[in-house]
Amino acid sequence: MSSTVLFIIIIAIILLSVGISLSLLSNFTDSKDRGSADKRIEKLLPNVNCGQCGYPGCQAYAKALSKGEARCDLCKPAGPEVAMQLAALTGQNLGSKTDFEEDLFTPRQVAFIHESSCTGCSRCVRVCRLDCIEGKIRQSHHIDKEECIGCGDCIKVCPEKCIELVRLEHNLSHYDWKITATTSSGAK
Ligand code: SF4
Ligand code: SF4
Ligand code: SF4
C-alpha cells in the first residue's frame, strides 16, 4: 500500500470519528436542553394532574409541549396568563390574550329553537351542514347542541324568527377527558 493511500485512509478515519463525536454531542445537548425546557414548562403548570389537557398529567403535557407536539392552550386550570407564557417559551403564536381568553373560557354558542313558535317548515334542516336539526314536517324542531357549531345559517332562513344563538353553560360534560395512558410517558 502506497503512503498516499494510507494517508487518505487515516484522514477518512479521523473525519469519521469527528463526525460521530459531534453527532453524539449534539444529541446529548438536545436532550439536556429538552430536559430543562420540560422543567421550566412544568413549573408553569398547576400540577393538579386533572387530565383536561388530554394528557395523563402535567408532566406528560409539559413533555409534549417541549417537543412541539402539543398546543400551549390546552390547560384550562392554568388560565390564559400561563398559556401566554407557555406560548412565549415554546415559540407558538396564540394571538392576543383577549382572543385567547374568549376562545378558551367562553362557553361556545349554539343555535336554539323556541319550539312553541316553530311551524315545522324544515327550512332550517335543509341548510344545516352538520345535520344537527331534527323534527318531523309540521312539528316543532330541535337542535342537537353537542353537534351544532353555531354558524347561524339556520337563523337566516327561519321564517318564524324562532331560532337564536345561546351560550352553553359550562358543565362537566365540556371537560375533555381523553386520557390515553396511565403513565406519564404515554402522552397521546
Ligand atoms: S389540564 Fe393538564 S396540564 Fe393542566 S392541570 Fe390538568 S393535567 Fe395538568
Ligand atoms: S347554527 Fe349552524 S350548525 Fe347549528 S343548527 Fe344552525 S345551521 Fe346547524
Ligand atoms: S325554519 Fe324555523 S319554523 Fe321552520 S322548522 Fe326550522 S325552526 Fe321551525
In a domain, 24, yes or no: no
SS3 164: strand
In a domain, 62, yes or no: yes
Q: Is 44 in the pocket of ligand 2 (CB under 6 A)?
A: no
Nearest CA to ligand 2 atom 4: 148
76 and 42 within one domain: yes
Residue 57 has pLDDT above 50, yes or no: yes
In a domain, 19, yes or no: no
Q: Where does a domain end: 106, 125, 142?
A: 106
Q: Is 118 in the pocket of ligand 3 (CB under 6 A)?
A: yes
Residue 84 has pLDDT above 80, yes or no: yes
Whole-model pTM: value is: 0.47
Could you report the per-residue pLDDT of 157-184, keeping only the tens digit for each? 999 999 999 987 666 655 555 544 434 4
Nearest CA to ligand 1 atom 8: 58
- Confidence band for 113, pLDDT divided at 50, 70 and 90: very high
Mean residue pLDDT of the chain comes to 79
How many CA atoms does the CB half-sphere of 93 hold within 13 Å?
1
Q: Is 158 in the pocket of ligand 2 (CB under 6 A)?
A: no
Nearest CA to ligand 3 atom 4: 121
Instruction: Decide which of 131 and 147 is more confident.
Output: 131
Boundaries of domain holding 99: 35-106
Give the highest mean pLDDT range of 11-20, 69-78, 84-93, 114-123: 114-123
Residue 44 has pLDDT above 90, yes or no: yes
Query: What is the tally of structural domains in the chain?
Result: 2
Q: Mean pLDDT, to the nearest integer, of 80-108?
A: 76
116 and 100 within one domain: no
Buried b (16+ CB within 10 A) or exposed e, 115-144: eeebeebebbbeebeeebbebeeeeebebe
Measure 156 CA to ligand 1 centroid, in angstroms: 40
CATH number for the domain harbouring residue 56: 1.10.15.40
Instruction: Decide which of 147 and 180 is more confident.
Output: 147
Instruction: Decide which of 77 and 170 is more confident.
Output: 77
Q: Mean pLDDT, to the nearest integer, of 17-28?
A: 60
